Amino acid sequence: MDSLALEREAEAARDWMGGDAVSIHDEGQIRATPYSWPDAASIPPRSWLLGYWYLRGEVTAIVAPGGLGKSTFTIGTALSLASGLDFLKLGQPEKTSRVWVWNLEDAKEELDRQVSACAMHHGTGPADCADRLYLDSGLDTELCTAIEGEHGFEIIEPVYVGLKAEILRRKIDVLIVDPFVSSHAISENDNRMMDKVAKRWKRLASETNSAIVLVHHTKKMGGREAKAEDGRGAVALINAARSTLVVNPMTKEEGERFGITDSTELRHFMRVDDDKPNRAPAQAATWFKKASAQLGNQDAYGRTDSVGAVERWTPPDPFDGISLRHLFDVQQLIAAGEYGANVQAMDWAGNAVAEIIGADLGDKADKARVKSLLSQWTANKAFKIETRPMPGKGRDKPFLIVGEAVEPSMLPTFKSGVG
């Protein structure tokens, strides 16, 4: 192997081991360590600070399209952690955490509005947070961790040294940098450079035993749903993160399923998926709503700022108020007639469901609920689809028929008989 190849391997080894690898020219200096089997019960558990999203010693990436409310979301998580109130209902094992938000886009005045709106909406404030919340604006104090200078790519090590010192001095548990793109001056598309920057953030998290959250923009999505790999530029940040939260707006189809049909109202909802739960169980989507808080800061014309504040939101359950008796009655109606399985059919089976539960199929929310009920009941084998030929039409038509019938003996009974 020539000297250039050896030097490349040495550089790769130094990068992988954080810059402390021994030279591969020093033959015999690298030693494999025999594994010493620990008692599994004695291994320290992972230190989660916010659900399975923020983890000590690791980097979490938040990927979201612009203008969706990711800063409102991160301010909400910060205030929830600092106050210990868990108003986002995500779980805070340590209850309170010391949080440092460094927003590199907004002015301090605008950040004050966001924090105040969130605090007012959730009934918290300085008495709850004490000295556990720190906030800086990149317009006042810049943050640049890497550059492409006259000597090429360079990690600005003194910045990380300063961050480490301040995190340890303030005993910061969570550092949120928003957005990641504004924290460096290198090409987003260079995977090699981005890998070095991402791993340097990861090393900082490990050195300080803190959770570091890097908020990242997506590329232009063209109306499709974002995923972890849709982060703008190189994928190195996503690869280095141990949890990648992806934020998406509520779609029109989701809105109809939940009974939200107004396009303006749709924009108030966001869905957060953990698209890369490397160190935790995969979770179902978590929904949030952007509420509006009036700050009461009237100007000379009596106007006041209305600012968004994030809150947890639970989609309505189509089975609320639905009992086994409802299913039994629908099965009886379906068995007594002929009902099409296609929602476009005039004799759609949804008509039978609507009759039993008192739904109005002219109402989009009611119709979406009926569709959900039929879908779930069919998945559970209470109904099945049977295709029959249509005489004189030269085609087949799908009908919904009863599958596994509910036994009357399974229904709740009262003194008067079957309930």
Q: What is the mean pLDDT of residues 196-210?
A: 97
What are residue 100's DSSP bridge partners? 134, 175
Tell me how far apart the alpha carbons of residues 74 and 111 are, in angstroms, rounded to a whole number.
11
Q: What is the mean pLDDT of residues 186-194?
A: 92
Per-residue pLDDT at 11 exceeds 90: no
Per-residue pLDDT at 260 exceeds 70: yes
Instruction: Kindly state the tokens that stand for 59.
Output: 């980097």
Instruction: Kindly state the tokens that stand for 123.
Output: 């009934």
Indicate where the chain has its CATH 3.40.50.300 domain(s): 45-312
Contact 339, 349 (CB under 8 A): yes
* CATH (one of 3.40.50, 2.40.10, 3.30.2390, 3.30.420) for 324-418: 3.30.420
Q: Please state the pTM of the whole predicted model.
A: 0.81
Per the prediction, the chain carries an average pLDDT of 89
Tell me how far apart the alpha carbons of residues 225 and 216 are, in angstroms, rounded to a whole number.
16
Per-residue pLDDT at 16 exceeds 60: no
pLDDT band at 26 (very low <50, low <70, confident <90, very high): low
Per-residue pLDDT at 46 exceeds 90: yes
Per-residue pLDDT at 3 exceeds 80: no
Name the residue type at position 72.
Answer: T
Instruction: Kindly state the tokens that stand for 186.
Output: 């290198």
pLDDT band at 47 (very low <50, low <70, confident <90, very high): very high
Closest CA to 79 of 144, 124, 19, 112: 124
Q: What percent of the chain has pLDDT over 70?
A: 90
Query: For residue 197, how many other CB atoms are within 10 A of its CB?
Result: 23
pLDDT band at 416 (very low <50, low <70, confident <90, very high): very low
What's residue 418's pLDDT? Answer: 47
Query: For residue 416, how many other CB atoms are within 10 A of its CB?
Result: 6
Contact 325, 356 (CB under 8 A): no
Name the residue type at position 57.
Answer: G
pLDDT band at 53 (very low <50, low <70, confident <90, very high): very high
What's residue 417's pLDDT? Answer: 46
What's residue 21's pLDDT? Answer: 46
Q: What is the pLDDT of residues 271-303, one digit of tens each?
A: 999 887 766 666 678 999 999 999 999 999 999
> Using H for helix, E for strand and C for coil, what is the string for 192-235?
HHHHHHHHHHHHHHHHHCCEEEEEEEECCCCCCCCCHHHECCCC
Q: What is the mean pLDDT of residues 202-214?
A: 98
Per-residue pLDDT at 56 exceeds 80: yes
Per-residue pLDDT at 151 exceeds 90: no
What's residue 223's pLDDT? Answer: 78
Indicate where the chain has its CATH 3.30.420 domain(s): 324-418
DSSP string, 339-352: EESSTTSTTBTHHH
What's residue 7's pLDDT? Answer: 59
Superfamily of domain 45-312: P-loop containing nucleotide triphosphate hydrolases (3.40.50.300)
Contact 354, 366 (CB under 8 A): yes
Tell me how far apart the alpha carbons of residues 353 and 362 are, in angstroms, rounded to a whole number.
14
Q: What is the pLDDT of residues 304-344, one digit of tens each?
A: 999 999 999 998 888 999 999 999 999 999 999 999 999 99
What's residue 412's pLDDT? Answer: 75
**Residue 95, helix vs strand vs coil:** coil
Tell me how far apart the alpha carbons of residues 256 and 271 are, in angstroms, rounded to a whole number.
15
Contact 156, 346 (CB under 8 A): no
pLDDT band at 413 (very low <50, low <70, confident <90, very high): low
pLDDT band at 104 (very low <50, low <70, confident <90, very high): very high
Q: What percent of the chain has pLDDT over 90?
A: 69
Instruction: Kindly state the tokens that stand for 160.
Output: 């990380």
DSSP string, 8-52: HHHHHHHHHTTT-PPPTTSTT---PPPP----GGGSPPP-EEETT
